[in-house]
């Protein structure tokens, strides 16, 4: 409803900038936590959900999960996840995911480095908790310093504020408005060619 509200309510549309800044800050907060984080994916991790997977240190998924960034199909730009996605999958795979908006299965997600491993649904949380226990065996300062060094070695070119602005700006365009209207009406976007 909130996203739908940005199509008609000018005051709601003004909140787009604040929402993007908050989400960008959340991603950065999770990514920079001194304690390691584990994502346990039990379903589709798409758009913002896929972004959450990319900012976690480790990721385990059930075999039926799908991953993707379909934002471009609605006139949106997944700017906030780009630096995190690039670190995991490299530029070629990131270009495929971000430019096509296609969803990938767990085998492709694991092959590209988006996730670490695949577990049956019945043992998903056991695996995540097993990793958490193993991570808890590490020295807190050593873990924090390792994470900090990893972050320093993979510095991104854009600040989180610039990424938030790059993500928010398209949400206020006519292209995005048309794309979201089509999404909510469950029809193809006006620019979609139908070659699916």
Known catalytic residues are 71
Q: Please name the helix (run of DSSP H) or strand (run of DSSP E) that holds residue 143, with its range, or none.
A: helix 140-153
Q: 5 vs 20, 72, 99, 176, CA distance in Å? A: 15, 20, 26, 13
- Reported residue count of the chain is 196
Residue whose structure tokens are 């530029």: 91
Q: Quick one: 120 exposed, middle or buried, by C-beta within 10 A (0-12, 13-18, 19+)?
A: exposed
Q: Tell me the DSSP string of 34-74.
A: SS--EEEE-SEEETHHHHHHHHSSEEEE-TT-EEE-GGGGG
């Amino acid at each position: 409803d909130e996203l739908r509200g940005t199509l008609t309510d000018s005051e709601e549309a003004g909140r787009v900038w604040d929402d993007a800044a908050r989400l960008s800050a959340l991603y950065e907060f999770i990514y920079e936590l001194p304690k390691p984080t584990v994502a346990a994916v039990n379903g589709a991790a798409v758009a913002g959900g896929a972004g959450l997977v990319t900012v976690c240190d480790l990721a385990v998924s059930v075999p039926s999960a799908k991953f993707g960034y379909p934002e471009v199909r609605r006139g949106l730009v997944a700017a906030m996840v780009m630096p995190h996605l690039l670190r995991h999958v490299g530029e070629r795979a990131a270009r495929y995911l971000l430019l096509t908006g296609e969803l990938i299965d767990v085998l492709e997600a694991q092959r590209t480095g988006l996730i670490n491993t695949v577990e049956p649904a019945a043992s998903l949380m056991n695996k995540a908790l097993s990793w958490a226990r193993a991570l808890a065996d590490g020295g807190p300062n050593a873990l924090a310093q390792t994470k900090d060094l990893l972050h320093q070695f993979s510095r991104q070119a854009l600040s989180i504020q610039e990424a938030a602005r790059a993500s928010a700006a398209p949400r206020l365009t006519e292209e995005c408005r048309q794309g979201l209207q089509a999404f909510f009406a469950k029809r193809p976007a006006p620019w979609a060619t139908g070659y699916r």
